[in-house]
Amino acid sequence: MGSGSPGSPPLPSCPAGLLTCDSHWNLSIAFRVSVQLVSIEQPRAEVCIPPPVYDLASPGITVLDLDLDLLSDEQAKMAPVRVFGTADFVNAARVMACLEEVGVEYEVVEVDYAAMEHKGAQHLARNPFGQIPAFQDGDTMLFESRAIAKYVLRKYSKSAQVDLLREGNPEEAAMVDVWTEVEAHTYLPAIAPIFYEYVVYPAEHGTTPNQEVVDESVERLRKVLDVYEAHLYKTKQLYLAGDYFSLADLNHVPYTFHLMRTPHASLFEAYPHVKAWWERVIARPSLQKLAPDMVIKA
């Protein structure tokens, strides 16, 4: 803390969360605040003011020094959750999409991948494998984007009236799990090489796509999409697990979003039910909001 103007007497102490000041004003703030005031046109007085509103623009008041620290553990938990990694990382985008769906305020903390910050001690304390993202919610620190996604949905869905896990219905929850597993073990291995060849490697290394790898992956993806098309046609469902948007659909977003920015976006044209499904998914307000930040810049 600064000592204020030369020769000014020290301020008396005041209970945590209140304010000692030299003039009457109103304050409401979720921190312990100490303020040294000078240029006061009224006699000095000790005032401990409870909430509500604050106005620092009172005439005749100059704030020389302001020191903030957290008032309580309970108030600390009210701070935004933090995602370590930006939305142009596919797995960080998965987490942010869930946060957008449930309407939770969050802070994005950039991890400089080019500078190898993800392998530094600070990030390794968050994610011991040195990967992106990591996630913090109060005292809870998590890694692995699919686990984080489920945590977010389990903790915040009820208050947001969002139900992407369908855990209240065992049959529906099972279908969400089935298509979540399909995405992770069948869809992702087929689509990921196309993403890396067209998006990641050119951005990081300035390379051109390896056509042999691309052709093999496109053929593999076609076979997967054959199954998706047959499933959506047969069931007449709007989404993969049922007539409800779920985590199974959301998990497809990061890589499919980037596929649609490659010459192979036209793959979906041969699969009308898959194409309609994707258009419904990506049209969601949460994803429209996040999409500009997902673009990987060279």
Q: Where are the domains of the chain?
A: 7-72, 81-160, 170-291
pTM of the model: 0.73
Distance (Å, rounded) from C-alpha 277 to C-alpha 238? 6
According to CATH, the topology of domain 81-160 is: Glutaredoxin (3.40.30)
Distance (Å, rounded) from C-alpha 47 to C-alpha 24? 7
Measuring CA to CA, which residue among 73, 74, 75, 8 is closest to residue 35?
Answer: 8
Laid out side by side, the sheet with 140-143 consists of 106-109, 81-84, 134-137, 140-143
| Residues 21 and 35: beta-carbon distance below 8 Å | yes
Distance (Å, rounded) from C-alpha 87 to C-alpha 97? 9
What are all long-range contacts of 191-197, with beta carbons under 8 Å and residues at least 24 apart?
191/217, 191/221, 191/255, 191/256, 191/259, 192/217, 192/255, 193/217, 194/218, 194/221, 194/259, 194/262, 194/264, 195/90, 195/255, 195/258, 195/259, 195/262
Predicted confidence pLDDT, tens digits, the chain (298 residues): 444 444 444 444 434 433 333 333 333 333 333 333 333 334 433 343 344 433 444 454 343 333 333 334 544 455 589 999 999 999 999 999 999 999 999 999 999 999 999 999 999 999 999 999 999 999 999 999 999 999 999 999 987 789 999 999 999 999 999 999 999 999 999 999 999 999 999 998 999 999 999 999 999 999 999 999 999 999 999 999 999 999 999 999 999 999 999 999 999 999 999 999 999 999 999 999 999 999 998 6
Give the pair of three-digit tokens for residue 5.
């103007």
Q: Which CATH number fits domain 170-291: 1.20.1050.10, 2.170.150.70, 3.40.640.10, 3.10.20.310?
A: 1.20.1050.10
